[in-house]
Amino acid sequence: MPLPSIFQIRTALRQAIAAASAVLPRQTSVGIERRLRGYEESKKLARADGVVVSFGKSGRTWLTVLLSRYFAQKYGLLEGRIMDFDDFHRHNRLIPVIFFTHDNYIKDYLGSDRKFDIYGRSRIVLLIRDPRDTAVSQYFQWKHRMLDRKKLINAYPAEDNGVYDFVAGDAAGIPKTLDFLNAWARDIERFPTLLVVKYEDLRAATRDQLRRVLEFFGQSPTAAELDDCVAYASLDNMRRMERENAGRWTADARLRPGDANDPASFKVRRGKVGGWRDYMTDEEAIEVDRMVREGLSPIFGYN
């Protein structure tokens, strides 16, 4: 087993400092942890060969599993592993270092949230999803999987008032998702190496979209390799892996249910495009549509 990397050591130190800061006033403690997380992100960004940026619940885990399967099979890594920053690269230097981020904290360290100033030199995959589906999926993540500390440092709601109130609320719903997408839309024309990947396209044509991402990161996947990745990362197979990981605390938390007896707590839940409507009344759906139509940059095509 390889020795811990400097990035893993930084994470451990950050966790220890954050735990110790819990005795401080809440605002001070949260500020310290967010700045430390931002420092970690800035160091990873500087080291990465490529970056996958996405708002939470936009399909990042799925894309990570797809990429992990490709690199693990191509370079003979242990079956079933999910890549975590530079760990695959440390096993084989031919595997690029890919930094996956929700773009939450780096602004707290750098003091700026201008996307081009932060990410302009990077090779970026911007993974996006319809903000209505994103917000509903985020509700289930918040309700069933999110740690209390994560809720605190990201200012998520403290109480559950139902799906619609969460989705329509400023704290974690549609407005926050639109802010994220609009911030990227403002700078998108300036990036020399940025690939936009829509979750909906990844769902409809997984093989072709995975090829785009891999080629963007300098790979030349074969048809057989792509087919293997698509089959491995199918919803059914990922649900199977998550069921098997239930109760196994050694398993990767990214594919482990919050409650093995509650399907709503699974990371791999439905993956349904447009499924947000199943949780809204007609009147609520009209209002959510209006928020996106009027509030989102048209560049992404979700209006």
Percentage of the chain lying above the pLDDT 70 cut: 90
Nearest alpha-carbon partner for 91 in 101, 100, 78: 78
128 Cβ contact list (under 8 Å, min separation 6): 54, 55, 58, 181, 196, 197, 198, 199, 300
Residue 171 has pLDDT above 70, yes or no: yes
For residue 96, name the pLDDT band (cuts at 50, 70, 90): very high
> What are the residues facing 194 on neighbouring strands?
124
Residue 248 has pLDDT above 70, yes or no: no
Per domain, the residue ranges of the chain are 6-233+272-300
Residue 75 has pLDDT above 70, yes or no: yes
Buried b (16+ CB within 10 A) or exposed e, 1-18: eeeebebeebbeebeeeb
Which pLDDT score is estimated for 39?
Answer: 97
How many residues make up the chain in this entry?
Answer: 303
197-202: long-range contacts at Cβ-Cβ below 8 A with a sequence spacing of 24 or more?
197/63, 197/125, 197/126, 197/127, 197/128, 198/128, 198/129, 198/300, 199/58, 199/59, 199/127, 199/128, 199/129, 199/130, 199/133, 199/273, 200/129, 200/130, 200/273, 202/59, 202/62, 202/63, 202/127
- Each residue of 198-237: pLDDT tens digit? 999 999 999 999 999 999 999 999 999 999 999 999 988 8
d(Cα 67, Cα 65) in Å, to the nearest integer?
5
| Amino acid (one-letter) located at 120 | G
Instruction: Taking residues 85-112, report their average pLDDT.
Output: 96
Structure tokens at 248: 């196994």
Nearest alpha-carbon partner for 87 in 224, 249, 252: 252
DSSP letter at 111 equals: S
Structure tokens at 106: 């780096």
More confident residue, 72 or 161: 72
Residue 153 has pLDDT above 80, yes or no: yes
| Amino acid (one-letter) located at 261 | N
298 Cβ contact list (under 8 Å, min separation 6): none
CATH 2.30.33.40 is right for the domain spanning 6-233+272-300: no
Residue 108 has pLDDT above 90, yes or no: yes
Q: Measured on CA atoms in the order 193, 101, 137, 267, is the torsion positive or negative?
A: positive
Instruction: Taking residues 178-185, report their average pLDDT.
Output: 97
CB-CB contact of 29 with 69 (8 Å): no
Which pLDDT score is estimated for 267?
Answer: 56
Is the pTM higher than 0.85? The answer reads: yes
